[in-house]
Structure 1
């Protein structure tokens, strides 16, 4: 029986003279043939033809099942369906060169047969493929030495022999110094994907893709893949910058960087990509300070992300190499330093070591003609048309250069409120939110990053119930915002009413204008006064609801749509160092910034994150290294404020007056694993406390040092700082306002000495700390993002750069040490979606250490966050994970967050958004991986959940395209979502 599927020859039928003619494939199976080509085994190339798959499948089925009329009709239907599945899978998996090897096509056919449970046909097909493979190996062994090699077709169209020596050199160089990687395996896989007449670009990509297929079995192949990608980048950048065709190796770059770097700056200025001021640096000195060996520290995901979106390029050609990139960013941040070269080298050394990483906007724009370096902008929207549409315009201008936005919409009058100018009734806040949503889509930062905005509304606003529904996929689409994030801005009084099972009254802000600016006891007094007026019939628009009913609905929507997030107004304001200078009306896009906003001030924050994993030694933190990192990082962040390109005057005014920065951290999970501490443990909570205390101490100290050198920030007098009230002290203010707070307040460091220094010397920055999500910069550094627990130990991560197999290297190291790492373990990890809990042969201590996010009780995340929060003058992006949500669990979790004094929470991850394909990842990666989004759903018309009763069981998880996960649950790795930078 002959069942082979090939693109260059017909498919013989099994030798049975009684077989009837093969049914012609339907138009459905053959019409929509994708525009890519197939590399045959002899290296030649043919256009992809879906009809050949249909014909081959038909012959295969008839050869096994016979050719009766009934069988033919049945086969015809089956083949149509299978062909569609196969073509769809191949279309997803085809690489950027639009080419597939014939083996890839046959792998998909085999996979489709197995998934369809056509086991007899699949078995025959597998046996035939193996038989043909043996025959080919025999034939290849007979080829005489010196046979013609593959040829490469240059840009001039001339065919030249493949340089086998260089290919071997580049692969060997990529593997050098890495354990358990095999250059021969990479070369073998590379040659399998070569063909006669291959282009130089395809040739460069082939070893990269070959190495990527091996990541699942050995994490060090992620470094190999990055180094092979680096070879592509070197050829691209050096050739353009130096004006000659060049393919320098990594070894050659040790000396060549010194010549390349000044040329890069010159070319960047000529193409209007780089600020001409950078050309006035001592470029020879800076070039001599570059450390080419640090190019080898990237993993593939990090370098591919930089390659796609961060490195400067012109006409699609990258001109920037990694060390030049870090130096360009450092130079941009040192522009106004007195000794610019010394500071630039200091900043470069910190960035390129991965000890600290600046935020995405800073990396994008530092040293360019438009240095918009700030990460977050917070605005408050006025209650008039001019103000509303100015706010929408401001959103567009701020988003244009990579800013993430948080808008406070509480002042806009509610549905049914009186409009004096027209003597009509207001349509409420929702129609304007729709405009803001569409603006975020339209302004996508030049394709680099999707425009991202979060709308905040206080819980007493009369439109709050409609606000909760904004992300639903049902109802009037004109009153839905499918692309905008939303968040509840919750006063303490509401949480107290929930605890008391009391009544909550909703108002329109045009009748209660002072509630917007009040918090704590003052808010309670004013709010109860308005409730009394409403009872007397003196309020035009108001509505009474049970507080617990509204709370239940908030939790229901959070579960069903992932929004609105729950953030707490009172702790954000009561503990704010700047409460003398205004009011915090909302947080930002990612819920870690808590700064004042007003008509005249748009709050701005400048972010960067410490790589905590790089500061672990022995059994604890390297405090000296951490102090050095924080000192330099705070200087860089402070410099951003003066160098920054401001798109609106309100942002500039606010930033220069208060000078806030947000120093955060990433790699918390990596640090715990290095210390052998399970995330779900008291030891992890203590480490969260101790590590944040150290960061807080050194950040405040560094800002005081900057104040001594450069002066206090202008609005310092009257701040909590000026009163000697540090973040750890402001916990008591919250406790007093609430009548108690259950939170450990112990300290270790010399806070009394620092407190006195802050009072006498002052602070350079009104705010110093905020823990951002770091979704992208953690990829660059190759560590777990932010304070997150590990998502999975083996999974496929998707972002705007593609799909990537991610393996927990620390787990692999431990499993190897215990003799447990093998192909069976890889298979088990895939089967259990990256979790090791169900794998019996793994010891319990490793199961605890490498427990994944959905295996950890989220109360541990809250306890750790609470211990951090006491040290932080702003907030933290805190995601919560619940594998099997219920009303009771959600109620307990979010009440605990409030009771522990947290200022904000972020996403509720109720189910994983991607999973490892259980069949195989072997031979595939990147765009070749089949990634599906699996979410928990609830019936569209389901009644609100009842707290504390359990949520009704949701239907079985369904597979949906990644891009459609929004509106149901947060897609952890939605390729279109770049909100968590």
Structure 2
């Protein structure tokens, strides 16, 4: 029997066969039957026989291949749908096809795909003949929640799909309606009916980005039915057009429902709801893309037992009212805040969106703590972690004070087991407290490089060794003093101490740290300190870089610039950063640092001609007011956090959409123009943020600990570069300014600041999805890929690239195929012009030194830090040495993840079979075409130029390559952080 006779059979289950999967399959006729994995195995076996001949009969190779392929397909289906869900024949066939191609069974795959295409043409012809005859298709029914069956209203379904397409360019309701009909069956449930058009539209996103808006609008119809029915207590539906009038009655009812459910603060009902409701703009619901709205639906909208009762504009207004709850003219301010949030020019952080206006308004993003060196203090810190994480806080713990392995314990006259066992407890606590299932609890542990446990600390994320001394879920970071970097460059010794023997090092930095450190070294050499270890600084540096190769941890952060440039050096020490390395605030035994975050959407403030300074100034002014309000409204779970936050009032205004802004202006990321724009845009944000804080100080009063700060001395972030330069022999940072800073400097000194800190660039991984822009300051990951997070898998395509290709007449099925084949990279697609390739180069195609140069220009304006990811497609010890030395030389305070290429790729199967990999299969002569590996980086074109070598590279490098390269074969490198890892919620 031929392969073509069996190629379709995996999807069509024989009812006589029992199924253990719990799935059902919808036949093309609309009937439903049980899914039987054995059919896939049988058809694959016969397909191999047909393709390879009788010599394959009984072959262990074929038997093993079929078993493996069947397991792959079933595993994917298990992951994508819960038991009891229905599957489509085409979906199962897509997975079979994909499994064949990924496993390099080209001959079988080619025959399989060609047969599918032939069968599709035959069905199309048959359908065309049927259309000429009077339709005798029976009316389908819908199963209601109470079990009743009612006729399916195709007219309403058609209306909703047409409305979702609206005036969007290059979309059509016809393919959505056709695919939706194909997915329906007699007795379909209401939930399945609502989901069918969404899923139909989703499949078209890779072909036309505007279908991302269509999918969101179809999801919105599902949400409207859910929310309206909940607040009214009876089944209700409404189109988007009808919601223009419905919001006036819906919004007060939704507030009431939330208050009665104990979810919304009753104070919100005391607003002038007539005025508030009149300001709501229902048409802004249409600005969402599918990924953004699905994320809100899954994780942000308030619900009772899973039933959402918040529509998007109600959600934004609830958050805005929560932030304005203590304003004097709170309706006016709530509307002002709403207009920023709902138009995506600024977005508050995830905890603020989760909890503003609720009965537990924990709105702060980040908490930094110092763990003391006693048992009571250690376990109080672990308890504090749990309380802070409960309401969506990200945590940074300074563990340096805890005595190291072998240190004397006076109370028991024994020896300490060091810091690692306690880190294991903190790791497990973070997993246990998962923020109500909204996202994983997340914590980062920091340890200074001189701590005697630093070598064990480096190994915490390894997958080998004693698992009791591993923390597989906790992030880790090195807190590196400048003296260590100097010793590395001089190839000098480095001494490790237990903090109980060297107690002053924890609170010192700069020249004072150097003096104390050398004093402790002298004591160790003279025998006054016994628990110490001397290593070669270069060897420890190599090991730090090796762990970055192997595990992506610990991150490398720099103690001295964080402290020397801190505005609050007069009131304490910065002992660590936070979960995402952008916060640099003081901590102590009685102060837990708190930071309140939000991000400006830079893409909404540029045109093709450049930055709109006036619009940016207004956005920043309003955003800073929102962030300052968080401090007073906030629900504090521990008193140390409240004490610190009210005393210093730090906030962290950041940005997102940097890559989008560049592409709007047609500026390549790897260019001097991009570095200049990073400088210009951050200077403007810095100027307006500081000015807004001065305005708030004039209105509300300066923060309590202002006197003695750098601010009070007229030293702004740009000026504090001089302080850092005074302590370093090597320091190379651009000092260019564009704006008139002197008048603002005088205002800061005479009026004061409302906030001790004003800026920090967070990762924005989730809120940028909500706004539909690129994450933070990141370069584009890929131009076409499947993003995975807690809400599922989402096709992401670069709409700007598609628009440029359309303009050149290059956007077609072949281009989609090529993009998928090259995993979202345009670098090797010959017919794309070079200027387009340069503009849309992806993260792994850029020399990461460009990222550091741009970050350096931002860092000079920031009073805190930035979450800076670095990308290397073909890493080596030398490359990493150069990169992290450059980061230190350019004055960066912190770095974040070291990104490897993901182990998953674009799914290379579509409704039209335009798979890139298939093109290589079908043309066997192109055997030399590169095939992206699932373990290593995607193929990249010749490297883009790196920044000016004379100014952006260190004058000398150290050969840090280990004797055994830790990334040979890519096996270990695959364990490093992947940007689309669905389990990684640290920066969501």
Distance 1:881 1:78 in 2: 35
The match for 1:566 is: 556
The match for 1:202 is: 192
* CA deviation after TM superposition for structure 1 residue 979, in Å: 1.1
- 293, 301, 304: which one aligns with 1:303: 293
Does residue 107 of the first structure (1) align with residue 94 of the second (2)?
A: yes
Structure 1 pair 80/976, CA: closer, same or farther in 2 (3 Å)? closer
Question: Aligned ranges for residues 640-659 of structure 1 at < 5 Å?
Answer: 640-659=630-649
* CA deviation after TM superposition for structure 1 residue 924, in Å: 12
The match for 1:17 is: none
Say whether the 8 Å CA contact 1:936–1:956 is kept in structure 2.
no
Does residue 5 of the first structure (1) align with residue 18 of the second (2)?
A: no
Describe the superposition over 1:23-74 as per-residue Cα deviations: whole angstroms up to 9, x where unpaired. x9xxxxx998322110111212112112233344445556677779955887
Structure 1 pair 815/535, CA: closer, same or farther in 2 (3 Å)? same
Say whether the 8 Å CA contact 1:668–1:788 is kept in structure 2.
yes
Distance 1:160 1:525 in 2: 83
Structure 1 pair 157/577, CA: closer, same or farther in 2 (3 Å)? same
- 933, 942, 952: which one aligns with 2:965: 952
The match for 1:265 is: 255
The match for 2:980 is: 973
**Partner SS state of residue 786, structure 1:** coil
Distance 2:207 2:81 in 1: 22
**Partner SS state of residue 685, structure 1:** helix
**Partner SS state of residue 765, structure 2:** coil
Structure 1 pair 737/202, CA: closer, same or farther in 2 (3 Å)? same
Does residue 695 of the first structure (1) align with residue 666 of the second (2)?
A: no
Distance 2:987 2:851 in 1: 18
**Partner SS state of residue 417, structure 1:** strand
Structure 1 pair 654/932, CA: closer, same or farther in 2 (3 Å)? farther
Structure 2 runs not aligned, ≥5 long: 916-931, 939-957
The match for 1:150 is: 140
Distance 1:269 1:470 in 2: 45
Distance 2:18 2:526 in 1: 72
Distance 2:984 2:200 in 1: 28
Say whether the 8 Å CA contact 1:915–1:932 is kept in structure 2.
no
The match for 2:371 is: 381
Structure 1 pair 951/878, CA: closer, same or farther in 2 (3 Å)? farther
Distance 2:509 2:81 in 1: 56
Say whether the 8 Å CA contact 2:732–2:890 is kept in structure 1.
yes
Say whether the 8 Å CA contact 1:935–1:969 is kept in structure 2.
no
The match for 1:169 is: 159
TM-score when normalising by structure 2: 0.92
Does residue 38 of the first structure (1) align with residue 25 of the second (2)?
A: yes
Describe the superposition over 1:649-704 as per-residue Cα deviations: whole angstroms up to 9, x where unpaired. 00000000000000000000001111111111111111111100100000000000
* CA deviation after TM superposition for structure 1 residue 157, in Å: 2.1
Does residue 279 of the first structure (1) align with residue 269 of the second (2)?
A: yes
Distance 1:933 1:638 in 2: 46
- 401, 409, 412: which one aligns with 1:411: 401
Question: Aligned ranges for residues 673-684 of structure 1 at < 5 Å?
Answer: 673-684=663-674
Question: Aligned ranges for residues 234-383 of structure 1 at < 5 Å?
Answer: 234-383=224-373
Distance 1:121 1:560 in 2: 37
**Partner SS state of residue 596, structure 2:** strand
Distance 1:123 1:837 in 2: 26
* CA deviation after TM superposition for structure 1 residue 818, in Å: 0.7
Distance 1:115 1:267 in 2: 50
Say whether the 8 Å CA contact 1:327–1:348 is kept in structure 2.
yes
The match for 1:548 is: 538
Structure 1 pair 166/932, CA: closer, same or farther in 2 (3 Å)? farther
Structure 1 pair 355/114, CA: closer, same or farther in 2 (3 Å)? closer
Structure 1 pair 341/885, CA: closer, same or farther in 2 (3 Å)? same
Question: Aligned ranges for residues 52-63 of structure 1 at < 5 Å?
Answer: 52-60=39-47
**Partner SS state of residue 557, structure 1:** helix
**Partner SS state of residue 351, structure 1:** helix
Distance 1:257 1:54 in 2: 53
Distance 1:862 1:196 in 2: 58
**Partner SS state of residue 535, structure 2:** strand
The match for 1:612 is: 602
The match for 1:421 is: 411
Describe the superposition over 1:942-975 as per-residue Cα deviations: whole angstroms up to 9, x where unpaired. xxx9516797373444699xxxx7xx21121221
- 583, 591, 601: which one aligns with 2:581: 591
Distance 1:867 1:9 in 2: 61
Say whether the 8 Å CA contact 1:571–1:734 is kept in structure 2.
yes
Structure 1 pair 10/343, CA: closer, same or farther in 2 (3 Å)? closer
The match for 1:887 is: 877
The match for 2:948 is: none
Distance 1:74 1:974 in 2: 32
Does residue 496 of the first structure (1) align with residue 486 of the second (2)?
A: yes
Say whether the 8 Å CA contact 1:615–1:625 is kept in structure 2.
yes
Structure 1 pair 383/629, CA: closer, same or farther in 2 (3 Å)? same
Structure 1 pair 183/429, CA: closer, same or farther in 2 (3 Å)? same
Using the TM superposition, name which of 136-145 and 365-374 deviates more: 136-145
Say whether the 8 Å CA contact 1:936–1:954 is kept in structure 2.
no
Does residue 475 of the first structure (1) align with residue 479 of the second (2)?
A: no
**Partner SS state of residue 738, structure 1:** coil
Does residue 661 of the first structure (1) align with residue 651 of the second (2)?
A: yes
The match for 1:51 is: 38
Say whether the 8 Å CA contact 1:361–1:403 is kept in structure 2.
yes
Describe the superposition over 1:306-342 as per-residue Cα deviations: whole angstroms up to 9, x where unpaired. 0000000111111000000000000100010001111
Say whether the 8 Å CA contact 1:590–1:979 is kept in structure 2.
yes
Say whether the 8 Å CA contact 1:6–1:40 is kept in structure 2.
no
Distance 1:127 1:419 in 2: 74
Distance 2:35 2:891 in 1: 60
Say whether the 8 Å CA contact 2:901–2:978 is kept in structure 1.
no
The match for 2:626 is: 636
Describe the superposition over 1:778-830 as per-residue Cα deviations: whole angstroms up to 9, x where unpaired. 00000001001111101110000001110000000001101111111111111
Describe the superposition over 1:352-375 as per-residue Cα deviations: whole angstroms up to 9, x where unpaired. 010000000000000001000000
TM-score when normalising by structure 1: 0.93
Using the TM superposition, name which of 132-141 and 313-322 deviates more: 132-141
Using the TM superposition, name which of 110-119 and 346-355 deviates more: 110-119
Distance 1:113 1:800 in 2: 28
**Partner SS state of residue 205, structure 2:** coil
The match for 2:746 is: 756
* CA deviation after TM superposition for structure 1 residue 511, in Å: 1.0
Using the TM superposition, name which of 196-205 and 93-102 deviates more: 93-102
Distance 1:405 1:677 in 2: 36
Say whether the 8 Å CA contact 2:713–2:749 is kept in structure 1.
yes
Question: Aligned ranges for residues 520-559 of structure 1 at < 5 Å?
Answer: 520-559=510-549
**Partner SS state of residue 804, structure 1:** strand
Say whether the 8 Å CA contact 2:22–2:83 is kept in structure 1.
no
Distance 1:39 1:898 in 2: 59
Distance 1:467 1:380 in 2: 17
Distance 1:948 1:56 in 2: 50
The match for 1:402 is: 392
The match for 1:215 is: 205
Question: Aligned ranges for residues 843-922 of structure 1 at < 5 Å?
Answer: 843-920=833-910
The match for 1:511 is: 501
Does residue 435 of the first structure (1) align with residue 439 of the second (2)?
A: no
* CA deviation after TM superposition for structure 1 residue 191, in Å: 1.1
Describe the superposition over 1:79-112 as per-residue Cα deviations: whole angstroms up to 9, x where unpaired. 4344323322332343787211122223333444
Describe the superposition over 1:141-199 as per-residue Cα deviations: whole angstroms up to 9, x where unpaired. 33523542322122232222221111111111111111111110111111111111111
